[in-house]
Amino acid sequence: MTFQIQRGFSDEQRPAIAQVYWAAFSRKLAPILGDSARTLAVLAETFDPAACLIAVDDEGRIMGVSGIEYEDGQFLRYRLSVMRAHYGSIGGVIRWLVMQVIHTAGDGKTVYISGLAVHPDARGQGVGSLLIEAVTAIARERSYDAVKLDVVDSNDDARRLYERLGFRAVRTARYPFLSPLGFTGVTTMVKPISLTIVSGHPSRATPPR
């Protein structure tokens, strides 16, 4: 099976993207958003195509998703109007406020990977690596310093993948009170964008066209 990486998506692809994303992050998000069809609807309406890369297989199925935060987009745009429409006036406001608190924004110097999810049928086939390579290419194109992400302490497989791809841990924050969500610590990992030498001066490597 081969996969193609695409930037952005069509409205028709929103439900499939929500399914792949939810399969990876339901344990973290269910205590906040609930676990029902309306949660998938909220996610589908929340994704920003300008800040999303998808992996598509030979049959056109979405087998991987990478959401990013950078100057042109924010993958998860939780709009208050959408939250209130699905959860009611009070429940929508409470959930919206919680999502604003836990959201991590880009800093203008890095591309932040806010979510990386691979369909269960495609795990172990290099989809995650392809998505990260595509995100790295965006960082190079825009002369950013690095690609950054966070990984929870209960996801050892993901951390090993990131380390193989050149990410290094820079700090770990402990959150014992988050144990009901399946983790108690979050490690920030950074992959510096490599430089090349052009005419005696360093410049950022440009991906092949």
Contact 75, 9 (CB under 8 A): no
pLDDT band, very low/low/confident/very high, at 107 (cuts 50, 70, 90): low
The sign one gets for the Cα dihedral 178, 166, 117, 79 is positive
Q: Are 53 and 66 in contact (CB under 8 A)?
A: yes
The architecture (CATH level 2) of 3-146 comes to 3-Layer(aba) Sandwich (3.40)
Task: Please report the pLDDT score of residue 180 as a whole number.
Answer: 64
Structure tokens at 80: 């208050």
Mean pLDDT of 183-204: 65
Q: Residue 167's pLDDT is what? A: 93
What is the C-alpha separation between 55 and 66, in angstroms, rounded?
Answer: 9
Quick check: 205 pLDDT over 50? no
Crossing angle for the helix pair 37-46 and 14-33, to the nearest 10 degrees: 120
Q: Given a cut of 60, is residue 2 above it in pLDDT?
A: yes
pLDDT tops 70 at residue 207: no
Q: In this structure, which amino acid lies at residue 103?
A: H
Six token digits for residue 5? 């990486």
Locate 10 and state its tokens.
Answer: 């069509």
CA gap 152, 174 in Å, rounded: 10
